[in-house]
Structure 1
Amino acid sequence: MEHLEHKKKVMIMIAIMSAMLFAALNQTIVGTALPRIISEIGGMDYYSWVFTIFMLTSSVTAILVGKLSDMYGRKPFILLGIGVFMVGSFLNGLSGSIFQLILFRGIQGFGAGMIMSTAFTAVGDLFPPRERGKWQGLMSSVFGLASVFGPTLGGWIVDNANWHWVFWVFLPVGFIAFGMIYKMFPSQTAKTGQKVDYLGSIMLTLTIIPLLLAFTWGGNDYDWLSVQILSLLGGAVIALILFIVTEKNASNPVLPLGLFKNRIFTLSNMIGFILGAGMFGAIMYMPFFIQGVMGTSATKSGIVMMPMTLSMVLASAIGGQIITKTGRYKFLALIGLFVMSSGMVLLSFMDTDTTNARALINIIIVGTGLGLSFPVFTLAVQNAVAHQFLGVATAATQLFRQIGGTIGVAIMGTVMNQSMANKMSEQMGAVKESPVLSNPDAAKGLEKLQDPQLIMNADKLNEIEKTLPPELSGVFDTIVTGVREALSYALTNVFLIGAIILFVGFLLTFFIKEIPLRMSNKEETEAKKAVNE
């Protein structure tokens, strides 16, 4: 599609970005609204699963569709992805329990994997590497735009209307995106004579699923050295070995192992894994801090988060323009990761006395670093591989980034839960000895306050306070303050771990070899040498 006239390319990109906007809006609106949703339908212990299942299904789908789109073209998969995502969104709004929400989020993940994989690959079809920088930046800006409107609207909906509309409000955008893609996106000739690597796909799936389950359940539902966790990890290792054997013998492997001989491909995906862990950690747990620790409403929480995404949009757009003009990208990745890790360190110093202004400055720093670094590694990979591997290589970058996000959120969730449990046990000791708790009804009412879900719901807090006798008002305030302090302590550990992870990514970036950005998709000499064809 590189030969198409510029106007046609721009129209296609508008169609692609509209599809991405639909998927991204549905993702970002959940983050701010979820604490309130969880407080109504329950399931705090499964909070991270709402994100984990989405990342799991989208990760597996992205890599499989990446290879299939190389074989059959991008258009059918992006259309199917939009359709599946719309079904998942509609069903999410009907959820009556946390388990239904998790299931339907999984369906959404299948659709999102198809959309994101084909969307970023299509940029590589339309433009040579030297021109991709600005378009990658604009596509990243779509995520930023969604992050500006999504959280704010999500917070407003749960504060002023039925939370089910969080999942339904953007369905019209999905219909528009589907129509635009169907009409504007050109069909590509399918490559005949190539077999689908079903066995490799199964082995890859059986590697990813138990691995993520182990990191999700470990430390929460089961001890890290329990039979369940060790069995899952062992199963993942066995499946990985079988996957490698399968791919070596496959005529058309779902993930060509030769790509990993390319140092740029391997390092970029390692850093993408790290970036995903840090990025999703900040996006997921920052609303918890703003609402749970600072006591900000869901609506205002979205407003506080807005500068992070605006700074990401601006940094991403500027970074993309710099890459297109200079042909250089490595220095932007270094600056971005350093700035982002510094911002996470600042987040780790926040506490119950933190003001909205201080939180705002810290998350602007995180957003700026994220915007500078986010598009770089996909561009580096696309520039380093031959065009015939464009789909699977691009999908691989998303696979590693999303797996990093899933595992990162799971580990951070374990750290948060354990840290909070320890702190709560320490702080509640004195309260339990209070003589006023000899009243069973009063004791039962105050016990409910130790549920962190209630901290995110001011209305329920007020209801509990009204049911207590006047002599318990002081104990009530003590417990609420204690829960906020425990949550603050736990999230401080989460942000500090995120900062350390991102700094490791910063150090690894020094080892990436920067090769010139090609001026045409036909200039693949460097890429073919790198992949050892």
Structure 2
Amino acid sequence: MFMAAIEGTIVSTAMPSIVADLGGFSYFSWVFSIFLLMQAVTIPIYGKLADLFGRKPVYFLGVIIFLVGSILCGLATSMPLLIAFRFIQGIGAGAVQPIASTIVGDIYSIEERSKIQGYLASVWGISSIVGPALGGIFVEYIHWAWVYWINIPFGILSLIGISLYLHENVEKKKHSIDYVGSGLLFVSISALMLAFIQGGVAWSWTSLPSLFLMALFVLGMGLFLLQEKRALEPMMPLKLWRNPIIVISNVGSLTTGMIMIGVISFIPTYVQGVMGYSAIVGGFSLAMMSIGWPVSATIAGKVLIRLGYLKNALIGGFGLIIGSILLITSEPAFGPIWVGIGSFFIGVGMGFTTTTFTVSVQSSVEWRVRGVATASNMFMRIVGNTVGISLMGGILNTRLAHFLETHSNKLGGIDLDITNQMLDAEERQKFADDTLALLQEGLNISMHYVFWGFLVLAIMSLIAVSFFPNGIKTNKQL
């Protein structure tokens, strides 16, 4: 869990420096998107395999692939290579968090589970506070490669611990793996992500490529649903989606996942590019979310049994809205503290909602499908991450490109790659004051379109969780 949590904040903090070193700002969102895409595709597969063959062997496979990808990412010499290595890293990452969470669901009762999920959130807090600090230190004093290599010792320790202490009895029988379903899911989600990343930038939203990709997504998902109905052991059993608690939790995970990745991806860029602060300051503004998350998750875990799913989730929904409003109203003159407070409230929202989602899903199913049920919830969050970074990256690139075109008479024939220099402290000093101010204004305006997107998603999340039952239900009742 530490390795999964630190991956988000430490990489995000270092990304402006990575872009400044390797170039290719227009590929910025791909570094996150390709990683999240492979997580999204592999999470349901790992979840199903964990139900079929046990948690331990599947967890081992995923962590080893993740560590190999991490080593390669640190060795990347160009943005395309980094994206390729993040592809490998993402394949392994699909096993880390969902199977760790499934193991927790296996070894604790519902009363214990809500508290333990809160305690585990403190791991996110510690790692996410350490992450931005380490990211800033690595970038400024060592090398950005260490934001990936830091995974290696923790991954090895995790493998040793699981090997020594996790003992499970799994029924041995011949199984049928749903390869067709996995392939259809990969094609569908890939088409959707590519449409969001390139739409409005490389081509218009109504162009033939955009329409083709969206049609491919719809067709692929249609075939995927047909395949899941006829598969002997479907990758994602559709009967799970008849459970209202799972439906509500998964829809909520989709929208909150979009908010989460938006904050992680763009807050450091906003603080560094628009406000002109260092990577460390940008990292700590983001870390405020990582403080609010574990504190609220710990509280949510302790009061969940008493308050029930509905009240816990509503508290989280209002936290997301408050945080989004603070980000919308932020201005460079307010400084990074205002942004940090907004991040904190979004962390509060994430803590209450994700704890409720995880506990409710795991408590509404039996062991034999707990892996795939947990994976379905993680899958929806990662799909939210994937769609979120693609959509918001597209919004940012579209608005910034429009601003640069509108002010081309003052800025000359520059493109989105000018942002590479804005995120590099030394390069930024080479701009004339009026040019830098104009570029920062453009980035500021573009970022606020993204912040408005946060608010829309927060409202959607609140509406979704309002359908939760008032109280606690277990798999015996469902």
The alignment partner of 1:211 has SS state of helix
1:200 paired residue number: 181
Q: Which of 394, 401, 423 is matched with 1:414 structurally?
A: 394
Which residue of 147, 154, 162 maps to 1:181?
A: 162
Q: Could you tell me which of 21, 25, 28 is aligned with 1:47?
A: 28
Q: What percentage of residue pairs aligned between the two structures are identical?
A: 34
Q: What TM-score does the superposition give when structure 2 sets the normalisation length? A: 0.95
Structure number with larger C-alpha Rg: 1
2:435 corresponds to which of 451, 454, 479: 479
| Partner Cα distance (1:37, 1:185) in 2 | 38
1:294-333 correspondence to structure 2 within 5 Å: 294-324=275-305, 326=306, 328-333=308-313
Contact 1:197 1:252 in 2 (8 A): yes
Q: In the aligned structure 2, how far is the partner of 1:423 from the partner of 1:209?
A: 29
Q: Aligned partners of 1:302, 1:156: CA distance in 2, in Å? A: 10
Q: Is the 8 A contact 1:26 1:89 kept in 2?
A: no
Shift of 1:517: 4.5
- State whether residues 328 and 448 of structure 2, in contact with CA within 8 Å, keep that contact through their aligned partners in structure 1: yes
Is 1:152–1:301's contact at 8 Å kept on the other side of the alignment?
no
CA contact (8 A) 1:293 1:488 kept: yes
Helix, strand or coil for the counterpart of 2:433? helix
Matched residues in 2 for 1:501 and 1:516: separation?
A: 26
Give the partner amino acid of 2:57.
P
| Equivalent residue in structure 2 for 1:94, among 61, 64, 75 | 75
SS at 1:292 equivalent:
helix
Q: Supply the distance in 2 between the matched residues of 1:38 and 1:513 (Cα, whole angstroms).
A: 46
Superposed counterparts of 1:423-442, under 5 Å: 423-430=403-410
CA contact (8 A) 2:326 2:338 kept: no
- CA, structure 1 residues 292+169, in 2 after alignment: closer, same or farther (shift >3 Å)? same
Using the alignment, how far apart are the partners of 1:490 and 1:415 within structure 2?
8
Instruction: Give CA-to-partner distance per residue, 1:104-130, whole Å, 9 cap, x none.
Output: 111111111111121111111111222
- The whole-number CA distance in structure 2 between the counterparts of 1:204 and 1:370 is 27
May I ask how many residue pairs the two structures share in their alignment?
A: 478
- Cα RMSD, aligned residues only: 1.9
Matched, 1:228 2:209: yes
Is structure 2 residue 453 aligned with structure 1 residue 497? yes
Q: Structure 1: which 5+ residue stretches go unaligned? A: 1-19, 433-443, 466-475, 519-523, 528-533
1:442-457 to 2 correspondences below 5 Å: 451-457=418-424
User: Matched residue of 1:162: which SS?
Assistant: coil
Aligned partner of 1:374 among 341, 354, 359: 354
After superposition, what is the alpha-carbon deviation per residue over 1:131-179, rounded to whole angstroms, capped at 9, x for unaligned?
Answer: 2111222233322222111111111111122222221134222211111
* Cα distance, 1:41 vs structure 2: 0.3
Ranges in structure 2 where 5+ consecutive residues have no aligned partner: none
Change beyond 3 A, Cα 1:451–1:295:
same
Letter in 2 for 1:88: G
- Give the structure 1 partner of residue 274 of structure 2: 293
Q: Where do residues 91-490 of structure 1 align in structure 2 (5 Å cutoff)?
A: 91-324=72-305, 326=306, 328-430=308-410, 451-462=418-429, 464=430, 476-490=432-446
Letter in 1 for 2:146: W
Q: Could you list the per-position Cα deviations for residues 357-398 of structure 1 after superposition, in whole angstroms to 9, with x for gaps in the alignment?
A: 322222222222222222211221222223321111100001
CA contact (8 A) 2:297 2:355 kept: yes
Q: 1:327 touches 1:517 (CA, 8 Å); kept in 2?
A: no
How many angstroms apart in 1 are the aligned matches of 2:240 and 2:466?
20
Tell me the alpha carbon deviations over residues 190-239 of structure 1, each in whole angstroms, 9 at most, x when there is no partner: 44143222222222222222222222222222222222222222222222
Partner of 1:525, secondary structure, is: coil
Pair 1:158–1:234, CA change in 2 (3 A): same
Find the residue that maps to 1:353 and give its secondary structure. helix
Alignment-derived partner of residue 6 in structure 1: none
Check conservation: 1:197, 1:253, Cα contact below 8 A: yes
The whole-number CA distance in structure 1 between the counterparts of 2:284 and 2:170 is: 46
How many Å separate the matches in 2 of 1:159 and 1:294? 18
Give CA-to-partner distance per residue, 1:68-88, whole Å, 9 cap, x none. Answer: 111111001111111111111
- The question of whether the paired residues in 2 share the 8 Å contact of 1:21 and 1:142 is answered with yes
TM-score normalized with structure 1 length: 0.86
CA contact (8 A) 1:450 1:483 kept: no
Preserved contact between residue 294 and residue 354 of structure 1 (Cα < 8 Å): no
* 1:525 and 2:476 correspond: yes
TM superposition shift of 1:266: 1.3
Maintained 8 Å contact 1:293/1:351: no
Q: Name the aligned partner's letter for residue 410 of structure 1.
A: S
- The one-letter code of the counterpart of 2:440 is R
